[in-house]
Homo-oligomer: A and B are copies of this chain.
Amino acid sequence: MKVLDRLAACFERLPGVGRKSAERFAYHVLAMPLKDVEDFADGLLAARRDLRACGVCGCFDEADPCAVCSDESRDRSLLCVVDRSGAAALIERTGGYRGLYHVLGGHLHSLPRTGRPQPRVKALLARAEKDPPREIVLALPPSAEGEATAAMLARMLKPLGLRVTRLGVGLPAGSELEYADEVTLARAIEGRTGL
């Protein structure tokens, strides 16, 4: 059934979805009410059509510049660097950050190294030089790739005389010591704070 394989291949392009899950999703669609499938197809097209990357920060939004960039009440002296637009949305939801964002669009290691420039990194440096923020928060994941990217960005940004910070690494709030892996626990000890 070529039509099923074709749909499974579409699902397989989603992050973290393997062949078996993709096939399961495709079969699920066959048994869905037609109305729901039409809504799904329309939702894909509408989202792709109505949302675009903000020309300033790179976050997806209906407007360009985006709602955050054009909000005059935001703290323009704080710049938060994220790997993708979804990460900025997660930070927004905490309600604890009132600065601006800059979407990198990936990690430096996964971007091509030679020849082609890294446009979003160039844009970050240009932004930081043109209107230097008080602080740049590198909100990249505490994974090997994320940390390597943060280290490379810090090496580029610090010579500009900017304060560069990263997210705290440690025990998840509400968790037990027993369930933390050794690296996390070591990082939590290292990053201990005064009371």
Interface residues of A in 20-66 (CB under 8 A from B): 21, 23-32, 34, 36-48, 50-51, 60-62
Choose one: B14, B30, B46, B61; the contact of A25 (CB below 8 Å): B14
Select the stretch in A3-11, A150-158, A169-177 that faces chain B. A3-11
Establish whether residues A1 and B60, one from each chain, have CB atoms under 8 Å apart when the complex forms: yes
Answer yes or no: A13 CB below 8 A from chain B CBs: yes
The DSSP consensus for interface residues of chain A is helix
Contact with B along A77-106 (1 / 0, CB 8 A): 000000011100100000000000000000
A15 to B, closest residue via Cβ: B28
Establish whether residues A47 and B7, one from each chain, have CB atoms under 8 Å apart when the complex forms: yes
Instruction: Tell me the A residues contacting B by CB distance below 8 Å.
Output: 1, 3-4, 6-7, 10, 13-16, 21, 23-32, 34, 36-48, 50-51, 60-62, 84-86, 89
